[in-house]
């Protein structure tokens, strides 16, 4: 590997890591702050991708589709919380797993009934469809760079929301002591609903952004779910900052794993997880 | 007391006689029927393939007036969910509970391997309408196991010759690391290196990962003359889009078995245009059987048939060829098997026969992606037979 391709691989790792962060951030919020193990998180990613497909075929513009899709996903998340997840807070993890696993099956079947089982493509917006030449025979699609920029902006935005706003303060307080926050006059139900809807919207946004490069296909949420849980566990449950660091680590492990030890490529990410958990059983940044 | 006893005995024997007659009648009915067990995926990723195979099979049966070789067809259907863990149990349901004469299935190679084992153990006739694992008609071949589709080796081997003939010397391969991918790469490499080329590197990524970017960077770094890949379905669509977006497609020709572009060209949104692939079926084949098949299929199901529908159709044709040569009465497996092995199937893909290992000896077409079609542009390998390495039937 020469130096140029080494640099390009670093770019690949960063870009993959940032997209992983976008998916995992919603999961870590819901898991860490609300204490819900949400196996349906991958389904929200899939729903986002299918929303991008449906809305961009309807409007002819992916960016418009995303602008429309985010409030739809947020509203859908709030509705789900009101109808289903609200009943889970006081129940144990097994019941959460049962409900959210059931949701995976329902969403997959609904997708099959409404859109079918074919693979669909989503066009990259005209504005970002160019590529930048990186070496004599390799170029990099601008759209991938745009995704990375959006992810960085969202990471900064989430950090600001959690650490610097009143809402973030209430969310953090609510995750420590629900009753205390409630008795201080905060509408904790509304707060939890917001957090959950935010988690759903983040997953859906990740699906919408990834749709043009990943295509839209049955079962696409499953793979994402597993790797997202890896990121959340490595980063420390509930920590947005941890999810970012962990996602980047996973991006690097996966990319350089495939280049440096191709026979063990599938293993690199899980080796990383094992090492991190031996070193810090609660993840790199424990919730605090 | 005696009178009562005799009455009871009479009643019992009358009942016995009645039951016996019922059974005899049942047997007579069964003799005119053939029980077909369809074990295919009707849910999950491969659901559309399972449905296409079923449609094709039933279309041929319908064309014959609902009969195969003069026998009524009775279907027993199991959804295999493409789940290899449940495959043995599912196959046994059809073989032991439903007592089927013929097992037809399936798409997923792992499930098909388990079905082949059940078929060998129970000596049930098995027709495989898709799964391409080389082993099925290789080391695991059996006189009662038939395949109407392809072996992984076939389209890949044909492509090896094509790529060499097009003047490429150094090729990098990329595939998912699972047996079908590895067998495809091996088949390609065998033909390509025989023709004087060299595979400079075999790259693999874990199934079903689709993060191709590091591999594209690696390929660009290796600077080969061409690239050979095996991918299918959603992964194929993503790969071809990434390949084009990376700028590689313009400088570095891409070749693959036809699974890359079958049913995925629309999802690629133009990125697949012009790709050359090899498969045993193509769009635009000009033969009477294909035309009749296509119009019949469209009339019955209101959608265009695909390669899977053809394979289902041919599975029914193969079974019919066996049944028509077998004597009337009870299902004579040996006679059906022998007739099937010797049959020539007039397929929409073009006529084919079976090798000694019961895998199709067939033309592999070279196809070019145009719009949403894989247009035939020539025959990459005529009457190509899988070498069936390790198959005892070949001796």
CB count, 10 Å around CB of B393?
15
Among candidates B15, B74, B48, which has minimal Cα distance to B264?
A: B48
Q: What pLDDT digit, counting tens, does each position of B268-321 carry?
A: 988 999 999 999 999 999 899 999 999 999 999 999 899 999 999 999 999 999
Inter-CA distances, B310 with B26, B58, B178, B190, Å: 34, 11, 26, 28
pLDDT of residue B94: 96
Chain B nearest-CA distance from A238, in A, is 26
With CA atoms as reference, the chain A residue closest to B246 would be A139
Give me the pLDDT at residue B48, please.
Answer: 84
CA distance B81 to chain A (A): 13
Contact B245 A2 (CB under 8 A): no
Nearest chain A residue to B207 by CA: give it. A266
When scoring B211, B270, B271 by the number of chain A Cβ atoms within 10 A, the one with the most, hence best to mutate, is B211
Task: Among B40, B221, B244, B371, pick the best mutation site for testing chain A contact (most A Cβ within 10 A).
Answer: B221
Q: Is B206 on the interface with A (CB under 8 A)?
A: yes
Residues contacting residue A238 through CB under 8 Å, at least 6 positions apart: A28, A29, A31, A32, A33, A175, A287
Please give the interface size between A and B, counted as residue pairs whose CB atoms are below 8 Å apart.
Answer: 120
Q: Are A112 and A118 in contact (CB under 8 A)?
A: no
Q: Per residue in A183-205, pLDDT tens?
A: 998 898 899 999 999 999 999 99
Is residue A10 within 8 angstroms of chain B, CB to CB? no
Judge contact between A229 and A247, C-beta under 8 A: no
Average per-residue pLDDT for chain A? 90
Judged by a CB distance cut-off of 8 A, whether residue A145 touches chain B is no
Cα–Cα distances (Å) from B106 to B14, B155, B342, in that order, read: 47, 19, 23
3-state secondary structure of B209: coil
Beta bridge partners of B367: B277, B376
Predicted confidence at residue B14, as pLDDT, reads 53
State the best of A1, A52, A138, A146 to mutate against chain B, taking most chain B CBs within 10 Å: A138
Low-confidence ranges of chain A (pLDDT < 70): 1, 286-288
Q: Which residues on adjacent β-strands are paired with residue B176?
A: B205
Q: Judge: B269–A121 Cβ closer than 8 Å, yes or no.
A: yes
Nearest to A214 among B204, B206, B210 (CB): B210
CB contact burial B200-221 (16+ within 10 A = b; e otherwise) = eebbbbbbbbbbbbbbbbbbbb
Q: How much is the pLDDT for B190?
A: 96
With CB atoms and an 8 Å threshold, state whether B266 touches A120.
yes
**Inter-chain CB proximity B47 and A9 less than 8 Å:** no
A98 vs A82: CA distance, rounded Å: 18
Q: How far is the alpha carbon of B48 from chain A, nearest alpha carbon, in Å?
A: 7
DSSP string of chain A?
Answer: --HHHHHHHHHHHHHHHHHHHHHHHHHHHHHHHH----TTHHHHHHHHHHHHHHHHHHHS-HHHHHHHHHHHHHHHHHHHHHHTGGGTTTS-HHHHHHHHHHHHHHHHHHHHHHT-SS-B--PPPGGG--EEE-SSS-EEEHHHHHHHHHHHHHHHHHHHHHHHSHHHHHHHHHHH-HHHHHHTT--HHHHHHHHHHHHHHHHHHHHHHHHHHH-B-TTHHHHHHHHHHHHHHHH-TT-HHHHHHHHHHHHHHHHHHHHH-GGGGGGHHHHHHHHHHHH-TT-SS---
Q: How far is B362 from chain A (nearest CA, A)?
A: 28
Question: Looking up tokens 């153990």, which residue turns up?
Answer: B121
Span B11-25, pLDDT tens digits: 555 555 555 544 444
- What pLDDT score does B16 carry? 52
Beta carbons of A215 and B234 less than 8 Å apart: yes
Q: Does any CB of chain B come closer than 8 Å to the CB of residue A219?
A: yes
Here the tokens at position A261 are 């030890």
Cβ atoms < 10 Å from Cβ of A154: 19
Could you tell me the residue ranges of all domains in chain A? Answer: 17-129+139-215
> Whole-angstrom Cα distance, residue A38 to residue A6?
37
User: Which residue in chain B is spatially nearest to A1 when comparing CA positions?
Assistant: B221
Residue matched to tokens 């009465």 = B329
Nearest by CB to A139, from B210, B247, B267: name it: B247
Closest residue on chain B to A139 (Cα)? B246
Judge: A258–B233 Cβ closer than 8 Å, yes or no.
no
Supply the ipTM of this predicted assembly: 0.80
Q: Which residues of chain B have pLDDT under 70?
A: 1-31, 395
Q: From the CA of B383, how many Å to the nearest CA of chain A? A: 32
Question: Inter-chain contact B247–A1, Cβ cutoff 8 Å?
Answer: no
User: Where do the DSSP E strands lie in B150-224?
Assistant: 170-176, 198-205
């Amino acid at each position: 590997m020469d130096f140029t391709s080494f640099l390009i691989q670093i770019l690949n790792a960063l870009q993959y890591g940032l997209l992983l962060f976008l998916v995992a951030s919603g999961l870590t919020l819901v898991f860490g702050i609300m204490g819900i193990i949400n196996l349906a998180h991958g389904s929200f990613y899939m729903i986002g991708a299918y929303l991008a497909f449906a809305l961009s075929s309807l409007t002819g513009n992916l960016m418009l589709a995303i602008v429309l899709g985010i409030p739809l996903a947020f509203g859908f998340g709030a509705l789900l919380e009101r109808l289903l997840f609200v009943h889970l807070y006081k129940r144990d993890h097994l019941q959460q797993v049962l409900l959210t696993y059931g949701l995976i099956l329902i969403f997959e079947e609904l997708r099959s009934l409404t859109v079918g089982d074919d693979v669909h493509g989503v066009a990259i917006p005209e504005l970002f469809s160019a590529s930048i030449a990186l070496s004599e025979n390799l170029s990099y699609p601008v759209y991938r760079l745009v995704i990375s920029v959006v992810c960085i902006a969202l990471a900064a935005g989430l950090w600001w929301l959690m650490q610097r706003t009143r809402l973030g303060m209430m969310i953090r307080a609510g995750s420590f002591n629900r009753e205390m926050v409630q008795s201080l006059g905060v509408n904790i139900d509304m707060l939890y609903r917001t957090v959950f809807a935010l988690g759903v919207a983040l997953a859906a946004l990740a699906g919408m952004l990834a749709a043009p490069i990943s295509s839209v296909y049955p079962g696409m949420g499953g793979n994402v779910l597993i790797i997202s849980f890896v990121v959340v566990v490595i980063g420390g449950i509930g920590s947005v900052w941890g999810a970012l660091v962990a996602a980047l680590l996973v991006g690097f492990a996966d990319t350089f794993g495939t280049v440096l030890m191709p026979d063990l490529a599938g293993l690199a990410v899980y080796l990383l997880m094992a090492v991190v958990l031996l070193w810090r059983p609660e993840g790199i940044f424990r919730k605090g | 007391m005696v009178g009562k006893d005799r009455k009871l005995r009479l009643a019992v024997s009358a009942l016995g006689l009645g039951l016996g007659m019922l059974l005899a009648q049942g047997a007579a009915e069964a003799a005119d029927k053939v029980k077909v067990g369809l074990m295919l995926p009707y849910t999950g990723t491969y659901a559309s393939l399972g449905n296409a195979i079923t449609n094709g099979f039933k279309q041929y049966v319908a064309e014959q007036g609902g009969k195969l070789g003069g026998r009524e067809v009775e279907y027993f259907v199991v959804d295999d969910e493409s789940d290899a863990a449940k495959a043995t149990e599912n196959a046994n349901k059809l073989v032991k509970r439903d007592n089927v004469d013929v097992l037809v299935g399936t798409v997923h190679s792992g499930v098909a391997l388990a079905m082949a084992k059940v078929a060998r153990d129970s000596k049930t006739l098995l027709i495989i309408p898709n799964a391409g694992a080389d082993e099925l008609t290789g080391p695991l071949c059996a006189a009662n196991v038939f395949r109407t589709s392809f072996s992984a080796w076939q389209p890949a081997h044909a492509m090896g010759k094509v790529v060499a003939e097009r003047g490429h010397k150094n090729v990098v391969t990329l595939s998912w690391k699972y047996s079908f991918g590895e067998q495809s790469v091996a088949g390609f490499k065998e033909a390509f290196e025989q023709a004087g080329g060299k595979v400079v590197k075999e790259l693999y990524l874990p199934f079903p990962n689709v993060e191709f970017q590091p591999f594209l960077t690696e390929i660009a770094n290796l600077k080969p003359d061409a690239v050979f890949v095996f991918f299918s379905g959603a992964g194929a669509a993503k790969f071809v889009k990434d390949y084009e977006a990376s700028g590689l497609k313009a400088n570095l020709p891409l070749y693959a078995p036809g699974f890359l572009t079958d049913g995925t060209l629309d999802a690629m949104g133009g990125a697949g245009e012009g790709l050359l692939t090899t498969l045993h079926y193509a769009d635009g084949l000009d033969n009477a059987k294909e035309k009749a098949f296509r119009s019949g299929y469209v009339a019955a199901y209101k959608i265009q048939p695909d390669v899977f529908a053809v394979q289902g159709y041919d599975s029914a044709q193969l079974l019919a060829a066996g049944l028509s040569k077998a004597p009337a009465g009870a299902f004579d497996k040996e006679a059906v098997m022998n007739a099937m092995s010797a049959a020539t199937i007039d397929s929409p893909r073009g006529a084919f026969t079976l090798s000694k290992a019961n895998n199709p000896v067939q033309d592999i077409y070279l196809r070019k992606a145009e719009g949403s079609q894989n247009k035939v542009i020539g025959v990459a390998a005529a009457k190509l037979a899988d070498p069936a390495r390790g198959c005892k039937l070949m001796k």
